[in-house]
Amino acid sequence: MSIQSALENLSVRRDLDAQVAQDSFERLFTGQLSPAQSGALLLGLRSKGETAQEIRAAVQAALKQARVVHCNEQKTIDTCGTGGDGKKSFNCSTAVALFLADMGYNVVKHGNRAVSGNCGSADVIESLGLPFSEKPDEVVTHLQASRFAFLFAPHFHPAFASIAGIRKELGIPTLFNLLGPLLNPARPSHQLLGVGKASLVPLIADVLAMSGIKRAAVVHSHSGFDELTPCGPADVALIEEQQSRLTLLDPRDFGLPVSAESELIFPDRDEALRVMRAVLAGRGPEAVQNMVALNLGLALHLLENDLTIRDGVNLAMNAVRRGTAGGRSDA
């Protein structure tokens, strides 16, 4: 199947079938497309609107070129989001990952430097003095040592380096802005994934359902955050057994007070890291603690089949007030 055929379909806003999409992305990730063809493919998809099947094909093609990790653990979780909400908010997903590991769950955190904020997961992990997993066997070693492994995305996706220039020259969001959380090379069994737009909730949920993941959730707050927040309700898609269902979560249903968006925003990197250390030590602003508890509670619900979201949030509140062992010792 030629790339010209795929581009012709996209030029008339026709969705690509699975085989055409797979072939196109495999050529993209193996350097078989010219810069003009690569740019046309990404722009054509963006203009038409990507389908779950097309995104799934991109994920499969990218993982073929990735340094895949084979974990012995049957239950692992990632809390990576797409970013792109532009909020410069507290890095909740990394805090949740560290709390989960402290509570005894195996966390394979996939992440990068900051995108929409000033403090990405890699920045947090680095500031806390925690190791980056640079090789697949190091992921297993770090999991065995602390139940937490941080997979710095550039170390595991070398094929992306050849596409970085094209993305930079285009200068606009493309399919690649959605792929990060879907490309964890450790292939977690569970996932909590935040998205920056409400329209992406059902789309990304469908992609996760196709992947065969055991249990997952895709979230987007009505206040625009790519996470659950105490600012108000959020759209949530729950995925299990290759099916997804949409629901609404409101922090008031869990007895949490409504917070202002400004209480979760930290545009200064040093301040964001200071608040992270405080939260991990069982302190920090109440609004931030409640934000972490909401997302941690949903993650616990995903990991424990018999645990309701309400019970998960209650457990999470106790954990957040207590802090992590590492956070308390550093305080």
56, 189: one domain = no
Query: pLDDT tens digits, residue range 49-63?
Result: 999 999 999 999 999
With DSSP H G I counted as helix, E B as strand and the rest as coil, what are the percentages for the chain, rounded to 5?
50, 15, 35
Do residue 264 and residue 323 come from a single domain? yes
Instruction: Tell me if 159 is assigned to some domain.
Output: no
The number of domains in the chain is: 2
Residue 166 belongs to some domain of the structure: no
R_g over Cα of the chain = 19
Assigned domain for 242 exists? yes
**Residue 81 shares a structural domain with residue 115:** yes
**Do residues 81 and 46 share a domain?**
no
Q: Give the pLDDT score at 161.
A: 86
Say yes or no: 148 and 205 in one domain.
yes
- 319's enclosing H/E stretch is helix 309-322
pLDDT in tens, 276-296: 999 999 999 999 999 999 999
List, for residues 36-91, the tens digit of each pLDDT value.
999 999 999 999 999 999 999 999 999 999 999 998 778 999 998 887 777 889 99
pTM (2 decimals)? 0.95
How many angstroms separate the CA atoms of 155 and 255, rounded? Answer: 42
Q: What span, in angstroms and rounded, lies between the C-alpha atoms of 101 and 98?
A: 5
Tell me, yes or no, whether 134 and 247 share the same domain.
yes
- Annotate 266-305 with b (16+ C-beta within 10 A) or e (fewer): beebeebbebbbbbbbbbbbebbbbbbbbbbbbbbbbbee
On whether residue 243 sits in a domain, the answer given is yes
Q: What CATH number did the domain enclosing 53 receive?
A: 1.20.970.10
Residue 104 domain flag: yes
On whether the CB atoms of residues 259 and 229 are closer than 8 A, the answer is yes
pLDDT of residue 85: 75
- What does the alpha-carbon distance between residue 95 and residue 103 come to, in Å, rounded to a whole number? 12
55 and 86 inside one domain = no
Structural domain of 22: 3-64
Residue 132 makes CB contacts below 8 A (sequence gap 6+) with 122, 125, 126, 150, 152, 155
